[in-house]
Amino acid sequence: SSMTSVPKPLKFLRPHYGTLKAYYETMVESDLKKLLADILSVLALTMSAEGEREGLKYRLLGSQEDDIGSWGHAYVRNLADEIAQEYAWQQVRLFTSKKCYDNFYSMGTGYRFLISPSIESF
């Protein structure tokens, strides 16, 4: 991902992303910890591994500032993508649970339901 929309001070924090994450885990609950989570949320959108959704994780752990748009269009777009990924992951977890698997399998659909949301296409 590009860092063009990220303020210059945050660009300088990129090399320290891992260190900041480790330090965050050692902090006691405080307003400062929430502010660090906000910063980690922005950094995570370009620094975290694909599929980790750390931008969303740290956003939820952060200060919960109401004006999310103040972080910029790129941040909001990437965060929305992570929300969509998390939603899709939760749907897969739901449909692959033992109970749901048994229900779908008994209906003769099995894992085909996970491949296509439209069962009538079979």
Mean pLDDT of 65-85: 85
Torsional class of 65: left (φ above 0), alpha (ψ -120 to 50), beta (otherwise): beta
What percent of the chain shows pLDDT beyond 90? 25
Q: What is the pLDDT of residues 24-50, one digit of tens each?
A: 999 999 999 999 999 999 888 888 778
* Cα atoms found within 13 Å of the Cα of residue 11, Cβ hemisphere only: 8
Mean pLDDT of 42-60: 86
At residue 75, the pLDDT reads 85
In 3-state terms, what secondary structure has residue 80? Answer: helix
Task: Sketch the domain layout of the chain as residue ranges.
Answer: 8-96
Mapping DSSP onto H, E and C, the string for 33-66 reads HHHHHHHHHHHHHHHCCCCCCHHHHHHHHCCCCC
Question: Higher confidence at residue 110 or residue 44?
Answer: 44
Q: What is the pLDDT of residues 62-73, one digit of tens each?
A: 988 878 878 888
pTM of the model: 0.69
* Signed CA dihedral, 101, 106, 110, 116: sign only: negative
CA dist 112 and 55 (Å) reads 32
First to last CA, the chain: 38
